[in-house]
Amino acid sequence: MAAACYAGDEPACTVFADGRALTMACVRLLPLSLPSLLVSACVGEGPRDPDGATLTASATIASATESAGESSSSSSSNATTDDPTLQPDGSSSSAGMNCGEVDFTIAAQPPNVVLVLDKSGSMLTQWDHDADGATPEVTRWNSLVHVVDAIVNGFDADINFGATLFPAQQATNELGAAACVVGDSPDVPVAPMNAAAVLAGIPDAGATDIRGATPTTAGVQLAIDHLSTLDPMVSRLMILVTDGAANCAADADQSQCPGIGCGLLEEYDNEVAQVVGSAFTDLGIPTFVVGIDIVDELLGTGDDGQPEANTHDELNFVALAGGKARPGNDKFFNATNELELQAALSEIAGQVVSCIVPLGPPAPEYPEYVTITIDGTMIPRVDDCATQDGWAWVAPDGPFDAIQLCGSACDTLASAGMLDAIYGCPPAG
């Protein structure tokens, strides 16, 4: 026997009187431009017989209705019978399933995201930003700032943004340590509604004093250190944007610095993938990687102030380590013009939805009997959200009112836009 609730013109959820299912709550993720989640909850209300054929949850619907600011009359009854059923304690009552609909709005939890932006001297390279060959070229930095402007303003209410630059704004083009300077703290700490602060904290689009090398590892580590201070129950991510090979390795040979042969700038820094990988596996902080006009070939000579490396291959390693690799030859987003850069960051922002979904009220009475499905596929419960695909309670010891989608399950939720949670209870006896 089943009873269905409806939200609008489509079924919101279904409750089955099968001796196990107590409640199904359908959680719809609204578009990122909207700041909330709309939840419809169907609550089974009725007694349970000795073999578990029907279930009871008479108090749950009232508490859910009160939380929603609705009157108890909004709970409708259907699919009921008047046949008495003997209960385990010897009492009898009506056997059946009542389905009440409760709609309430809960605040979405915006994820915390640090934009890790390459501010090296090569970002002043001119490119055909609109790919038409007719309009005047602009610098890569000009395009990056325009795209960042669009993203942070477009998703200001949905993502808590911060930013860190590598190298720091005081870096120079000297062939030495002065080109590798990185700040002691993020240029813009993560905060809600932070678009204006992000744009004020980085050089403007027309800047011509963009200088320095590419201390990618130090820039990423600065972002990780900052994200590590934030609530781990809120999704934390990095978006790394760079146009060249990483240098400024901590263990580089500096015996010829400054000058040609300065290993600090001419040796590729192999630590980038390791640091990004550790952030993902140890802290649950994934990294999206965006390359600006990256070619798939070995560049640099080792004595020209640039590291000898195939930056395409190296960024593939970083993207794989960061847990957000793309399918195909390019594991990272590779933009050859401003339009592609805009598309890449827009796609990433669309994926950066919070994978923490609050389910209550009503909260399940038996957390071990909760099941989660997305598009009809059951998602397994896991113990380690950082390394496994599935779902886990945000607070493993309670309260059991929010779950986190882990790994590929988070991506599935972002694509499907709806999650079904069934609150069950153990069979009688």
Do the Cβ atoms of 211 and 170 come closer than 8 Å? no
pLDDT at 226: 98
- Given 293, 319, 351, the domain boundary residue is 351
pLDDT at 32: 35
Cis link prior to 362 (omega < 30° from 0)?
yes
- Given 351, 379, 414, the domain boundary residue is 351
Determine the structural domain holding residue 362 and report its residue range: 2-107+354-424
Distance CA 316, CA 53 (A): 54
Pair (192, 307) in one structural domain: yes
Summarised one tens digit per residue, pLDDT across range 3-48 is 333 233 333 333 333 333 333 444 443 333 333 333 333 333 333 3
pTM: 0.67
Q: Containing H/E element for 274?
A: helix 271-283
Summarised one tens digit per residue, pLDDT across range 294-306 is 999 998 766 666 7
For 47-95, the DSSP string reads: ---TTSSS---HHHHHHHHHHTT--GGG----SEEEEEEE-TTS-EEEE
E-state strands within 128-202: 138-139, 160-166, 188-191
- Given 351, 373, 403, the domain boundary residue is 351
Pair (38, 99) in one structural domain: yes
**Which tokens hold the place of 389?**
């695909």
Q: What is the mean pLDDT of each run of 10 residues along the chain (429 residues)?
A: 33 36 40 35 34 27 27 29 32 30 46 97 93 88 98 91 97 91 97 98 96 97 98 91 95 82 88 98 96 93 77 97 94 96 92 74 75 89 89 86 85 73 72
Pair (177, 251) in one structural domain: yes
pLDDT at 102: 34
In the chain, the number of structural domains is 2
Summarised one tens digit per residue, pLDDT across range 129-145 is 888 878 899 999 999 99
**Which tokens hold the place of 257?**
């610095």
Angle between helices 271-283 and 311-321 (to 10 degrees): 10
Burial 334-363 (b: 16+ CB within 10 A, else e): bbebbebbbebbeebbeebbbbbbbbbbbb
Closest by alpha carbon to 96, among 215, 1, 31, 232?
Answer: 1
Q: Containing H/E element for 5?
A: strand 2-7
pLDDT at 302: 62
